[in-house]
Amino acid sequence: MLIVLSPAKTLDFENVAPTPEFSQALLLAESELLIKRCQQLSMQDIASLMKVSDKIAGLNVARFADWKQPLTLDNAKQALFAFKGDVYTGLAAESLAPKVLTYAQAHLRILSGLYGLLKPLDLMLAYRLEMGTKLDNLRGTNLYQFWGSLVTEEVNKALVAQGDSTLINLASNEYFKAVKKKEIKGQIITPIFKDQKNGQFKVISFYAKKARGLMARYILENEVTEIKQLKEFDVDGYYFVKADSSETDLVFYRDEK
Per-residue pLDDT of 21-44, as tens digits, reads 999 999 999 999 999 999 999 999
Per-residue pLDDT of 183-219, as tens digits, reads 999 999 999 999 999 999 999 999 999 999 999 999 9
Q: Residues 219-240: what's their mean pLDDT?
A: 98
Instruction: Judge whether residue 257 has pLDDT over 90.
Output: no
Instruction: Judge whether residue 175 has pLDDT over 90.
Output: yes
In the chain, what are the domain boundaries? 2-254
Q: Taking the complete model, does pTM exceed 0.95, yes or no?
A: yes
3-state SS string for 17-61: CCCCCCECCCCHHHHHHHHHHHCCCCHHHHHHHHCCCHHHHHHHH
Per-residue pLDDT of 71-107, as tens digits, reads 999 999 999 999 999 999 999 999 999 999 999 999 9
